Structure 1
Amino acid sequence: MSSTALVDRRARQQMLRQTVGSDRRRLVATALLIGDTVAGVGFAAGLAGAVAAIAADEAWLAWAALALTAGIARGLFAMHAQRVGASLAADAKTRLRRRATAAAVSQPLAGARWGGEIATSIVDEVEALDGYVARFSPIRTAASLSPMIVLCAVALVSLVAALILVGTLVPLVAALILAGTAAADRSRQQFAATARLSGLFADRLRALPLLLAFQATGREEEVLSRAANDVASRTMRVLKVAFLSTGALEFFAALSVALVAVYAGFNVLRLLPFTPPEQLDLFSAFFVLALAPEFYLPLRRLAAAYHDKQAAETAADRIVALERDARPSAPRPLAEPPRVSFDEVTLRYEGSDVDAVAAVSFSVAPGEAIALMGASGSGKSSILGALVGLVPSREGSLAIDGHALDNGTSLAGAVAWVAQAPLIVPGTLADNIRLARPDASRAEIADAASAAGLSAVIASRPGGLDAVIDARGGGLSGGERRRIGLARALLSRAPLLLLDEPTAHLDHLAEAELIPVIARACRGRTALIATHSAALACVADRVIRLEDRA
């Protein structure tokens, strides 16, 4: 095993331990499963006692009551073990999903992990740990203790029957180890293929309008079909190994029960071809016969939950890789409008072999608004992205108030960002504006909305600021979306304002209505405006033209 693989394995094991945690509920779930085994011993004793009492024409109701009570207890133990496990899993998934989300938002913008693959990690791969926490972890501990409890109970009555159970257990464990080793690799491959299919589907669904426009749906159907067939093929391989391990378990379980039944029956009837070291009565024979299936019940549960372990390990590997690739940026606070200086700065997206911006130099004075103009591909958006840590610099110096802004350092916490496609989240209109400053008062939100020209939108919607909008911003025009973005900028107290094509794709009338709002948002801040619009550039104190690098 290579050193990298060993490090990844340790990281995976640590993540699984942290996911399960030291929560006492895990011990409660394990204790309930062990209690189920103890109740099973009581049920076997009650059943054997009732049969022996009936055969001897003695009172049997007490034994029947013991069997009934033990049976009810088993049901209660199993039910509460599942409930406790589900509660533990829900909390564990919440913690892990926060970790995965934090790692996801710190991924390189142009890295390999993006889009549908990250969504799959946060949703599906975290969900895959549900069975591990809720079932496998408590069952694993119980499976190491419960068979010993059954074995001790059997040994107290019949040492030979106990030896039969132990004898059939050894080859079973060997078979399960071999099958489990084969299944682990196949399960990991199947899970990776499923994650790849989910990511492909999510990305293609998001790009569906573009695929339809360029009539590329046929080619993408073939890509998705190949990915789906790969998942189906790998799933069948996992099922083959699962059937093999289940068959081995059932074979040895049935063999042990059959051997115990033959031995107990022939012993009671005194028909064994050899002299046994013990003589069983009817109670002893029925007791060991009833407990023989109980010996393998914890192992059956463990085998049924073993796939949960494999899925969890695969999911943990992928989340560990997600965290390993994360590059969190350290926020840099700003109290006043800063001076921004680019000195021969060259920017390049990760994974690209072409510079987005080459040797650009300019300076923005505190409180000054500049317009970055140039053809598509000249690097206007990349310059804005460099200030918030989205685009790394390869050469040159990017400085804020004379202090270098190194890679890994970000101004994100001190920036108001206005994009050409502002983020819309499910909730109210006020909720969407409040994203810029969660502690803003209702009056401040209303003032920002009014200043951004949203009064007509508020008046036309039932509920006004409390009007509910969906994640797609249903019913909002492009200009209204931009106004929501500008309202956020007006509400924000950030001293640096970045605007990325805020009037792109708007007609002249809509643009003319937004330009005064943008000018108002720039007041008292250092502002950089990436734009193609000469009309919008007029609100800036200065225009910087970039070379076309397309």
Structure 2
Amino acid sequence: MTALSSSDLASTDPTPRARRQWLKTIAQGGRRGDAAAAWLMLDSVAAIGFAGGLAGAIVAVPAGAAAVLPWVMLVVLSGGLRGLVVMLATRRGARQAENAKVTLRRRIVASALHRDPGAPTTTGVLMAAVVDEVDALDGYIARFLPARKAGAIAPFLILLATALASPVAAGILVVTLIPFIVAMALAGGAAAEKSRRQFTALARLTGRFADRVRALPVVLAFGAEDREAHALGIAADELAARTMGVLRVAFLSSGALEFFAALSVALVAVYCGFNLLHLLPFPVPEQLDLGRAFFVLALAPEFYAPMRRLAAAYHDKQAAETAADRLIALPAPASPMPASLPATPHALRPDMPVLPALAFRSVAIRYPGAERCAVSDLMFDVPPGRIVVLTGPSGSGKTSALHLLLGLAPLVAGDVLIDGERLPPGGSLAPSASWAGQHPLIIAGTIRENLRLACPDATDDAIDRAVVQAGLRPMLMARGGGRMAAGLDTRLDARGGGLSGGERRRLALARAMLKPAPILLLDEPTAHLDALSEIALVTTIVAACRGRTTLIATHSDRLVGIADHVVRLGDPA
């Protein structure tokens, strides 16, 4: 799929042309539905074979079973082919849509993680974008694009086959198509605005609900739960009303389609019947036999089938256009991330055989909206394979220095060097670094799944070694009834319920040791632990640091004691 740049996510006033171009860029990952559309067009070819088989079987009945059998076989094969190609078209479209959504979600998450902290976009809005608004593109890519392309060609295949059997019947199909197109255009125009308002109401409700859940402790502390519940109820009622409006228009367009489709089939049926009986009140340049009449009558409903499919997916187009307006308007990152880090510095590759050296040269870090720098004129070196400890009072910039290496803090002056090569603006050492922060991330899942966050391909033996080195074996044995493997399969909630502070930190260290990275970054790994737990954890940290270039931010004198070099930062920023 074509990659989206930051500007693709940052436009705040999308024109119809910009919206179409944006959707086209999204759809190019699936070749704009070409493969699925080809299968749908093959469905129309199979429909012609099915109609021909029915007509041939009817005509061959007087000649006996032997004459009917080949036509019955054609009916069976054509019917089976129709089911097969529709299934393949559906699967192909769904796969294309899934690939496009995954790529787009990655781009949105990257934009959200690196956006300006002062931006007005809330977490709830971003959640709605990643979930609801990206999902709105599913039907557009999976159903509408293939149906639109097939709808532009398949009816003419049916019309051509009909014209070969009966030009007059083909003319009837064309005449009934004209008011159908007019009705669909009117219904589509009416539905577009209603769909846009409905989608906006849905995004507003989703964003508000997510933000209020996130701020639930504050809402409860100030006794605002009734007020917020009432506001959410009003938003939900507004969404329900708008949804009903969209459904009314959708039912109207579906009714118009079915009316003209039924009218077309009825007119063809009347014409064929009167032509066979020689009862037409006007002269026509053809005389139908039973086979041609039945063939034309069986094909008449198929003429509208591709347009039925397109009409059913038309709401997906409207939803995608509305979602595109909102997705295009998402804020760009505060400092643009490069598409990839340079390949020349070997220190940026996780599989490098040589341990890297890090150097800070007159580094200054200042967050957007801050009155002063979090770090100013910071200079120190971390030699290859050595342990350097950053220490100093809270707020002196220890964590910011680590975050800078991970691309999470903005560099406003100076340089960070990796083996003498300058880390590019917005660059990150995350691919080459293992990280354990003050508050270890715990996901809802097993302990084994939490460990594999660092290295998804880690073997069971590697996991076992990491947990033993991290000192987690006693805890896992206790949880697993004497079996460490069973302990690894213990499920945790998102808060790590049941784990002590020391166990969480050991889990984070095991995760860091599991990742085969040459750089180790630790942020307050022993904070809030009692003396005995700290002593035990320091021993684990020493083991984790072996064979790595290590940078630790800490207040702990015990961690300072294991350092090859100590950098003392000054007063809080």
Which TM bucket (shorter chain)?
0.7 to 0.9
The amino acid of 1:85's aligned partner reads: A
Matched residue of 1:409: which SS?
coil
| Alpha-carbon offset, residue 31 of structure 1 | 1.3
> Does the CA contact (< 8 Å) of 2:338 and 2:426 recur in 1?
yes
Tell me, what secondary structure is at the counterpart of 2:438?
Answer: coil
- 2:367 and 2:571 map into 1 onto residues whose CA distance is 16
Shift of residue 169 of structure 1? 0.8
Partner of 1:9: 20
Question: What does residue 184 of structure 2 align with?
Answer: 176
The equivalent of 1:480 in structure 2 is 503
> AA paired with 2:428?
S
Which of 99, 103, 112 is the aligned partner of 1:99? 103
> Does residue 544 in structure 1 map to residue 544 in structure 2?
no
Change (3 A) 1:310 1:500: same
Shift of 1:345: 0.5
Indicate the residue corresponding to 1:221 in structure 2.
229
Q: Is 1:247 the equivalent of 2:255?
A: yes
Structure 1 residue 363, shift from structure 2 partner: 1.9
Which residue is equivalent to 2:365?
Answer: 346
Which deviates the most, 402-411 or 179-188? Answer: 179-188
Contact in 2 for aligned 1:26/1:88 (Cα 8 Å): no
Moved more, 220-229 or 448-457: 220-229
> What is the SS of the residue equivalent to 1:410?
coil
**Structure 1 residue 386 corresponds to structure 2 residue 404:** yes
Between the aligned partners of 1:65 and 1:312, the Cα distance in structure 2 is 48
User: Could you say which residue in structure 1 is the equivalent of 2:350?
Assistant: none
Look up the SS of the partner of 2:113 in the other structure.
coil
Match of 1:455 among 454, 470, 473: 473
Q: Is the CA contact 2:137–2:323 (under 8 Å) kept in the aligned structure 1?
A: yes
C-alpha separation between the residues in 2 aligned to 1:284 and 1:152?
14
**Contact 1:266–1:272 (CA<8 Å) still a contact in 2?**
yes
Q: Is the 8 A contact 1:425 1:471 kept in 2?
A: yes
Q: Match for 1:31 among 27, 38, 42?
A: 42
Aligned to 2:4: none
- 2:296 and 2:461 map into 1 onto residues whose CA distance is 77
CA displacement, residues 200-255 of structure 1 (integer Å, 9 cap, x when unaligned): 54555556566556655445535544553454344334323322322221232233
Q: Offset at 1:479? A: 1.7
How far does the alpha carbon of each residue in 1:121-150 deviate from its partner, in whole angstroms, 9 at most, with x for none? 555555555545554444444433443343
Separation in 1, partners of 2:476, 2:297: 76
CA distance in 1, matches of 2:151, 2:127: 35
- Give the Cα–Cα distance (whole angstroms) in 2 for the partners of residues 302 and 177 of structure 1: 13
CA contact (8 A) 2:447 2:492 kept: no
Contact 2:187 2:249 in 1 (8 A): yes
Going from structure 1 to structure 2, the CA distance change for 1:489 and 1:228 (only over 3 Å counts) comes to same
SS of the aligned residue for 2:252 comes to helix
For residues 289 and 339 of structure 1, the distance between their equivalents in structure 2, rounded to whole angstroms, comes to: 79
**2:389 counterpart SS class:** strand
Write the mapping of 1:163-202 to structure 2, written as runs, cut at 5 A.
Answer: 163-184=171-192, 186-191=194-199, 193-195=201-203, 197-202=205-210
One-letter code aligned to 1:77: L
1:476 is aligned with what amino acid?
L
Out of 485, 490, 497, the position equivalent to 2:520 is: 497
Deviates more, 1:72-81 or 1:298-307: 72-81
Unaligned runs of 5+ in 2: 1-10, 348-353
Verify the 8 A CA contact 1:183 1:242 in the aligned structure 2.
Answer: yes
SS of residue paired to 1:36: helix
Residue 247 of structure 2 aligns with an amino acid whose one-letter code is L
Equivalent in 425, 428, 436 of residue 418 of structure 1: 436
Whichever residue aligns with residue 489 of structure 2, its letter is V
Q: Is the 8 A contact 1:188 1:314 kept in 2?
A: yes
CA distance in 2, matches of 1:64, 1:370: 89
Secondary structure at the counterpart of residue 380 of structure 2? strand
Q: TM-score, normalised by structure 1?
A: 0.80
Match of 1:76 in 2: 80
- Deviations 1:79-128, CA, capped at 9 Å, x for gaps: 21232124324532453354235424533535267856556555555555
8 A contact 2:272–2:288 mirrored in 1: yes
Q: 1:23 to 1:323 in 2, by over 3 A?
A: farther
Point out the more displaced range, 420-429 or 315-324. 315-324
One-letter amino acid matched to 2:310:
L
Cα pair distance change 1:183/1:115, threshold 3 Å = same
Moved more, 78-87 or 108-117: 108-117
Provide the C-alpha distance between the structure 1 equivalents of 2:461 and 2:499, rounded to a whole number of angstroms. 23
Q: Aligned equivalents of 1:348 and 1:293: distance in 2?
A: 65
Residue from 500, 510, 518 that aligns with 2:541 = 518
Query: Which of 51, 56, 60 lines up with 1:40 in the alignment?
Result: 51
Alignment of 1:393-412 (within 5 A): 393-400=411-418, 403-412=421-430
CA distance in structure 2 between the aligned counterparts of 1:22 and 1:260, rounded to whole angstroms? 33
Deviation, structure 1 residue 468 = 0.9
Amino acid at match of 2:38: L
- Please report the TM-score for the alignment, with normalisation by the length of structure 2: 0.77
Distance verdict in 2 for CA 1:333–1:414, change over 3 Å:
farther
Distance 2:189 2:426 in 1: 41
d(CA) in 1 for partners of 2:234, 2:409: 34
- CA separation of 1:512 and 1:42: change in aligned 2, threshold 3 A: same
Secondary structure of 2:110's counterpart equals coil
Amino acid at match of 2:491: D
Question: 2:8 — aligned with what?
Answer: none
Residue 471 of structure 1, CA deviation: 5.7
Residues 421 and 315 of structure 1: CA distance in aligned 2, closer, same or farther (over 3 Å): same
Tell me: CA distance 1:155–1:102, structure 2 relative to 1, closer, same or farther (3 Å): closer
Deviation per CA, 1:154-199: give whole Å up to 9, x if none. Answer: 4345433322221111222233234334434544554455455445
- Give the residue type in structure 1 aligned to 2:96: A
Q: Are the structure 2 counterparts of residues 32 and 173 from structure 1 closer, same or farther at C-alpha, using a change threshold of 3 Å?
A: same
| Match of residue 468, structure 1, among 479, 484, 489 | 489
- Cα distance 1:534–1:198, how it changes in 2: closer, same or farther (>3 A)? farther
Q: Note closer, same or farther for the CA distance 1:392–1:248 as it changes in structure 2 (3 Å cut).
A: same
1:478 and 1:157, CA in 2 relative to 1: closer, same or farther beyond 3 A?
same
Kindly indicate whether residue 315 of structure 2 is the aligned counterpart of residue 307 of structure 1. Answer: yes
Corresponding residue for residue 337 of structure 2: 327
**Alpha-carbon displacement from aligned partner over 1:316-359 (angstroms, at most 9, x marks no partner):** 6767777976734644653435243252503214xx46556153
In 2, Cα distance between equivalents of 1:539 and 1:210: 42
Checking the alignment, whether the CA contact within 8 Å between 2:46 and 2:79 is kept in structure 1 is no
Distance in 2, matches of 1:181 and 1:324, equals 32
1:38-62 deviation line (CA, Å, top 9, x unaligned): 3135435656x48xx8xxxx56878
Instruction: For residues 506-536 of structure 1, give each alpha carbon's deviation from its aligned partner in whole angstroms, at most 9, with x where no partner exists.
Output: 4555444423433554566554433455665
Q: Whole-Å Cα distance in 2 between the matches of residues 142 and 339 of structure 1?
A: 58
Note if 1:295 corresponds to 2:303.
Answer: yes
SS state at 1:406 partner:
coil
Structure 1 unaligned blocks of 5 or more: none
Of the structure 1 ranges 449-458 and 472-481, higher mean CA displacement relative to structure 2 is found in: 472-481
1:304 is paired with a residue whose SS is: helix
RMSD of aligned Cα (Å): 4.2
Q: Equivalents in 2 of 1:98, 1:285: separation in Å?
A: 50
Mean CA deviation greater in 406-415 or 514-523: 514-523
Distance 1:420 1:324, change over 3 A: closer
Does the C-alpha gap of structure 1 residues 363 and 210 become closer, same or farther in structure 2, counting only changes over 3 Å? farther
Map 1:257-296; keep pairs closer than 5 Å: 257-267=265-275, 273-279=281-287, 288-296=296-304
Displacement of 1:387 after TM fit? Answer: 1.2
